Each structure stands twice: as C-alpha cells, then as structure tokens.
Amino acid sequence: MNTIIYCAFTFNFTFVLFLLAHLGESADIKVAAKAGVDISPELLKAWTEACAATTPSTIVIPKGTFEMKQALLKGPCKAPVELQIQATLKAPPNPNDMDGKREWLTVEYVDHFTLSGGGTLDGQGNVQVYAAKDKGFKSDKLPNNLSFNFMKNSVIRDITTLNSKLFHVNVFGGNNLTFEKFTVKAPADSPNTDGIHIAKIKDVTVKDSVIGTGDDCISIGDGLENLHITGVTCGPGHGISVGSLGKTPGEEPVKGVFVKDSKFVGTDNGVRIKTWPNSHPGVVTDIHYENIDMKDVKNPIVIDQEYCPNNECSKQKPSLVKISKVSYRNIKGTSATEEAVILACSSGVPCEGVEIGEINLTFKGGAAKSLCSNVKPTLTGKQVPAVTCK
C-alpha cells in the first residue's frame, strides 16, 4: 500500500507540511508554508499521485487545525484510495471567498474510495452565513461541506461535518455507498443544512450515526433505489424525509427505503414523505419504517402530499406523485404535537398499500390523535392513537 502523509507542525509561526510518499522506494517530499496557508493545493498534489498509483494508497492529514479553501478530488483512479482526515479542517467563513460554482470538498468518479480518520470538516457557517440569513447570501451560491458524485463501492466512516453553510453532504449518482459512524453537527436554527441529501443512486447504507442539524437529518431525492438507514439518532432537525418530490418534471421513482432501529429526539418531524401539490407525476414505493423511538417529536408519522412551505405554491390541483407500499411497525414514544399520525394523501392519486402495525405515540398535553385522507391503511396489532380513515 502507498501511504501519503501530511504532517503539520507550527514552529516559530511557520507551518511546515511534509508529504511522505511511499511508491516503490520511499520518497519524502517536504513542502514548507507559513501558518494559516490553504492546504488544498498540497492535498490536490497528494491526490494526483495517489490516484495515479497502481496499488492502494492512503493520504493522511494528521491531527491539527488547518485551513482549506476548496478541493476537488476527481477520478477515476487506478487503485483504491483512502483519505484519512485526522485534523480539523476549516473552510473560509465568508462564502464569497470561495468559488460559488463548487462545493467545499468534492470527491467524484471514484471506485473503492474511503474517507476516514476521526477528523472534522468545519464549514464555519455559524460565523457569517447563519446570522446573515436575512441579509442575503443566496443559497444557490453556498457550498455544501461534502459532495460525493458518481461514487462506487465507497465508505465514509468516522468523520464529523460541522456547521456547513448549506447541506452537510450531497450524494448524487453512483452505487454502493456507505456512511458509518458519521456525525453531523449544526444548530437547530441553521437554515437549509440538510445532514445527508441523497439522489439518483442505488444501494446506500447509513448506519450507527448521529445527525443533528437545522433541516432534514436525511433527505431523499428522486432516482434513489435501495436505501438502508439503521441505528441513526436524528435531532435536532426536520426528521428523515422522502422528498420533497413532484416539483420538477421528469423526476425518477424512489424505490426501497428501509429505516429501522433509529431514534428521533426533539425533531420537527419524524418519518416523513412529502410531495408538492399541483405537481408533476412521480412514484414513491416500497418505504418501510420499523423499531423507531420518538422523544418529543412534532408529527412523528407524516405523509404530506400538500407540502407547500411559505405558501409558495398552488393547492388548487392535487399532487400527482403516487405513494404505495408503505409500512410502519413498532413506532413508539412521545409526540410534541397533538397530531401524532398524519396521512394526508393525494386526492388525485390516493395512497395504496399503506400498512400500520404496532404504534404507541402519546402526547403530554392530552390524547394524541391521527388525521388521514385519501388512504385506507391496513391495520395490524394495536395503534395509539387509533387510526381511523374514512
């Protein structure tokens, strides 16, 4: 295995960066720079060397706190590559100091990639962006902390993303991607900071992870097939959401989402499916929730086919996104709202194949209740609150 190691030291206000490359015969490449210098050029050099190697390589950024402006790590590579971030990397606080067309750290078109090391990617969104949400940083110009595009057979393990300016992680395209022992941290009021957004990819696993942020802990876009979420703690945040869907023409189906053995703490929603009214056609099918604990969660179970934030749409026509084969089993805990179960399906394409097993959701302010429309769920076991749909 080739090992490429960044060793960072501060000595007399000088930042010394060593690149140790073991390719055949050991070769030491020493790069010196002043304190506070952007490390991304040196990371790109290491990536170029590792990606060209014909045997597996490891790039290591050791413990310390370093600045990184932006980096694009692009494949394909000739052999597996692991990037170990042991350090805390800090993005520029002002997004205007970054290329608005790029994310902060992007990895794309790589097969058998691993990101690990126990380090932290600090987007520093809390320094200027969160406080200025009414002053005008446009969201389409803000960078995500991490973007993984068209990745295959890859693992993201033991990494923390902190205070992203926009999404913490955006996943687009590829197949067989795993997040394990992954941590997301941002304040509950941080805007549009989805934990992990996933779209147009097959076979994704998120397990044994803790996600707390200001938007959806995990959001699922179109074109996703076979997502397994296990052992995830969500909160604060807006829950785990399929959608929103139907706003854009030509969206691909969402097929196969399995959420189990997970916890929601103080979130604005629990397990949610959301589609726009007056929408384009779409498909959501084979969605299953099992063994879920809720603690003081607003709207623990939600299907919302009239999703219209800030009244930015027309509800005169129904959603045309067809929802089917959805199951809820062993969902228990406390609801922070009276409406513990909301199944608001489309009048244009009613929900089909909805199954509700054992649920026990209580409301501290009195009796919890359920609301439903345009759906006739199959009930098994006991439901608290009772689910009665005409």
Largest CA distance in the chain: 75
Rounded Cα gap, residues 157 and 179, in angstroms: 6
Beta bridge mates, 211 = 184, 234
Catalytic residue among 238, 268, 286, 304: 238
Q: Which residues contact 267 (CB under 8 A, 6 or more apart)?
A: 217, 234, 235, 236, 237, 238, 239, 297, 298
Q: Indicate the DSSP class of residue 310.
A: G
Q: How many CB atoms lie within 10 A of CB 36?
A: 10
Q: Indicate the DSSP class of residue 94.
A: S
What is the b/e burial string over 227-240, where b = at least 16 CB atoms within 10 angstroms of the residue's CB?
bebbebbbbbbbbb
Rounded Cα gap, residues 379 and 356, in angstroms: 5
Rounded Cα gap, residues 47 and 59, in angstroms: 8
Rounded Cα gap, residues 190 and 195, in angstroms: 11
- Dig out the tokens for 231 from the structure: 């052992």
Sign of CA dihedral 309, 144, 165, 190: positive
Beta bridge mates, 183 = 160, 210
Rounded Cα gap, residues 294 and 379, in angstroms: 20
Rounded Cα gap, residues 255 and 203, in angstroms: 11
Cα dist. 279→77, 220, 246 in Å? 41, 17, 5
Whether the Cβ atoms of residue 73 and residue 48 lie closer than 8 Å to each other: no
Report angle CA 132, 133, 134 to the nearest 5 degrees.
90
Note if 238 is an active site residue. yes
Q: Indicate the DSSP class of residue 300.
A: S
- Pick from 359, 354, 348, 352: nearest CA to 381: 359
Rounded Cα gap, residues 83 and 278, in angstroms: 45
Q: Indicate the DSSP class of residue 102.
A: S
Catalytic residue among 122, 194, 215, 293: 215
Active-site annotation, residues: 215, 238
